[in-house]
A and B are shown apart, each in its own frame.
Chain A
Amino acid sequence: MRFHYDTTYRDAQRLIRYRADWLAYGALFLLLLAAPWILPRYYVGEVSFIFIMCIASLGLMVLTGFTGQISFGHAAFLAIGAYAHVWFISHDVPFVISIIAASALSGAVGLMIGLPAIRVSGLHLAMVTLAFSIILEQVIGRWKSVTGGYTGVPVPSPSILGIDLGGLRPFYFLCLAILLIVFVALINLTRGSIGRALVGVRDSETAAHALGIWVGGTKVLAFVISASVTGVAGALMAHHVQHVTPEGFSLLLSLELVMMVVIGGLGSLRGAILGAIFISLLPTFISKLKPMLPAAVSGQFGLEIFVFGLVLALFILFEPMGLNGRWLKLKALFQSFPLYRRDTFRRGKTYMKSERYR
């Protein structure tokens, strides 16, 4: 059993509180540092890509998991981040400034897409984001002078202060460093007053108004933060694919991002990361599995999409709290052994859904 012992309110703010956690996170960090020398070359690039997907998934989590706003067009922000970044560095803007500018531009577009969220929500908002991503794909395809149209544009190798970071290992560490920065910044955001406001707007707009939260502004802010973070992922993705084309930011990618946050566990940053790892590895896993399946199954067109759908359905049915929920249950099991009760995580009956004034 473990209890919280905090002697000051400052203790309670510490992110890592127990020695066991320090050891676990320290070991994980060392493993991540050593990984490029342990893993086969091919997988180093794959893991970098997973880091990028983690950043994008964290971006969508702020929007969908914390404020409860659904976006079916988040690949569009990846695209904006990617094309803007490529354009900037092709015009000799230094890498760090370029990625920040690309992120800011993506955030500015997020602001415009977020404005309708003040009036519409739920499915209607999801349609707005979907329409936006479809329109953006057309714009990218036609705006040849900047985007290279459907043939795309080559991406210069990333370099900071004259040091080339385009190699497998340097790029791995670049992605890892940016992921860590984004992750820590979002942890800070979600544990502070803005993060609480995001959750407040999700759970009860009525109460949020009454407590002084500017509900419309908070929803738009969530869009801006989400789009900026996703834009950073887009910039890195450009380097990963080395040649950006509009097809790289399809509707399917948007749906994969949605699956990452849903399967990971809505409302949890750790969930965003677990979901991104899971969904990114799924195709590899399926292709490994294929030879073991009867030819009638493995030869089917669309097997991958089918498995994706199946996994999503199973999670929604059996583990609505996602991978993060699973994680918390396992952790609780170990910490409270042998006192764990199965009902610890059962949700209580929800009393009276109120009439909402909105």
Chain B
Amino acid sequence: MSGFFAVEHLELSFGGVHAIRDLSFSVEQGEVFAIIGPNGAGKTSVFNVITRVFDPSAGRVVFQGNDITAVARHQVVNHGIARTFQNIELFEGATVLQNLLLGRHRFPHGNILAQLCWLPNVRRAEEESRARVEDVIELLDLAPYRNALVAGLPYGVRKVVELARALATQPKLLLLDEPASGLNPEEARDLAFWIDDIKHDLGITVIMVEHDMSLVAEAADRVLCMNMGEAIATGSAAEVRAHPDVLAAYLGT
């Protein structure tokens, strides 16, 4: 079982709490894959294991044929995996532009001496980064906020900035943790279009954790439902929604 991306027999526990139990799934290139489940099901924990925030107690994560279960936490992005956070982790004291440029951190910008002297290679790298960031700003309509401090932005815009920052890393796989939570219906609709663009125009594979079933139904090719750390159903949105175990999990029986 190894294609584009796969999680194999993953286990994660915090003391007595089993956040993930024997979880396996795989995602094909170009797919939008949604993970749903009631609160505390372990969805965010899956992302945290993939991005090396937590060490799994068993199992492995394979991306493009490489076992990335034990890479350094700051190396994950170099494999082409970017993520957003359920509770928005932006750099509050910096502008939108600086936040997005930080998304480009993994690309070379010259060594420290070159940066101190602002040598031509640094200048070129900064120009290149700026140009790539502007592409993302245009894609996500962030131009009005380019030079605004994040600390003063409304919630909906912050969500978009965080998505933009993840895109600025030029990922192959994008992990979105509840991208639509807290958005108004109009913003949620924009998001659905953007996810479509990200998939079709940028060719980025997406795994998203989402509670909004209308967005999941619209955007996701396949859906995995988790409960108590386990996978209980996989399939199309309609199939998963009709699955008896899923209904039981949401009704708490």
Residues of B with C-beta under 8 A to A221 = 112
The distance from the CB of B61 to the nearest CB of chain A, in whole angstroms, is: 15
A203-B93, A211-B165 known; A196+B88 contact, CB < 8 A: no
Instruction: Give bound CA distance, A212 to B77, whole Å.
Output: 6
Q: Looking at the complex, which one of B48, B94, B155 makes contact with A351 (CB distance below 8 Å)? A: B155
Q: Is the CB of A347 within 8 A of B152?
A: yes
Q: Would you call B73 an interface residue if the criterion is a C-beta within 8 Å of the partner chain's C-beta atoms? A: yes
Inter-subunit contact B92/A350 (CB<8 Å): yes
On whether the beta carbons of A10 and B127 are closer than 8 Å, the reply is: yes
Contact call A211/B152, Cβ cutoff below 8 A: no
- Residue B102, interface by CB 8 Å: yes
The answer to whether B92 touches A207, judged by C-beta atoms less than 8 angstroms apart, is no
- A207 to B115 alpha-carbon distance, docked (Å): 23
Asked whether A354 lies within 8 Å of B88 as measured between CB atoms, the reply is: yes
Closest chain B residue to A190, Cβ basis? B115
The answer to whether B122 has its CB under 8 Å from any CB of chain A is: yes
In the complex, what distance in Å separates the CA atom of A347 from the CA atom of B109? 32
B130 within 8 A of A: yes
Docked complex: B152-182 residues within 8 A CB-CB of A: 152-155, 158, 165, 169
The residues of B with any CB-CB pair to A shorter than 8 Å are 48, 51-54, 72-78, 82-83, 85-94, 98, 101-106, 109-110, 112, 115-118, 122-123, 125-127, 129-131, 134, 147, 151-155, 158, 165, 169
> Which chain B residue lies CB-closest to A185?
B116
Q: Are A350 and B151 in contact (CB under 8 A)?
A: yes
Do B123 and A13 touch across chains, with their CB atoms under 8 A apart? Answer: yes
Asked if A193 contacts B73 (CB within 8 A), the reply is no
Residue in contact with B102 in the complex, picked from A185, A188, A196, A206, CB distance below 8 Å: A196
Interfacial residues of chain A within 186-240, with CB under 8 A of chain B in the complex: 188-189, 192-197, 199-200, 202-204, 206-215, 221
| A-B Cβ contacts below 8 A, count | 138
CB distance from A108 to the nearest CB of B (A): 15
**Closest chain B residue, CB of each to CB of A350:** B151
Q: Which of B87, B91, B115 contacts A189 (CB 8 A)?
A: B115
A212 touches B118 (CB 8 A): no
Chain A residues closer than 8 Å to B147, beta-carbon distance = 4
Asked if residues B112 and A200 are in contact (CB atoms below 8 Å), the reply is no
Cβ of A338 within 8 Å of any chain B Cβ, yes or no, is: no
Q: Is the CB of B123 within 8 A of A10?
A: yes
Q: A212-B75, A357-B53 are known contacts; what are 4 more A-B pairs with Cβ within 8 Å?
A: A10-B127, A204-B90, A212-B76, A213-B102
A209–B48 CA distance with the chains assembled, in angstroms: 12
Beta-carbon contact of A204 and B152 below 8 Å:
no
Q: Contact: A188 with B89, CB < 8 Å?
A: no
Once the chains are docked, how many angstroms separate the CA of A10 from the CA of B131? 10
Q: Decide if A194 touches B151 in the complex (CB within 8 Å).
A: no
Please list 5 pairs of residues, one from A and one from B, whose beta carbons are closer than 8 Å in the complex, sorted by A's number.
A206-B85, A211-B82, A212-B75, A212-B105, A347-B152
Let me know if B75 and A9 touch, CB within 8 A: no
Flag A5-24 by CB within 8 Å of B: 1 or 0 each: 00001101100000000000
Q: Is the CB of A12 within 8 A of B105?
A: no
- Chain B residues in 8 Å Cβ range of A92: none
Quick one: which of A194, A195, A203, A211 contacts B103, CB cutoff 8 A? A211
The answer to whether residues A212 and B106 also contact, given A350-B92, A351-B88 and a CB cut-off of 8 A, is: yes
Q: Smallest CB-CB separation from A196: which chain B residue?
A: B102
- Known A-B contacts A185-B117, A350-B151, A354-B88; the reply to A192 vs B105 at CB < 8 A is no
Query: A340–B51 Cα gap in the complex (Å)?
Result: 45
> Contacts A193-B115, A212-B78, A348-B153 given: A9-B91 contact, CB under 8 Å?
no
Closest chain B CB from A348 CB (angstroms)? 4
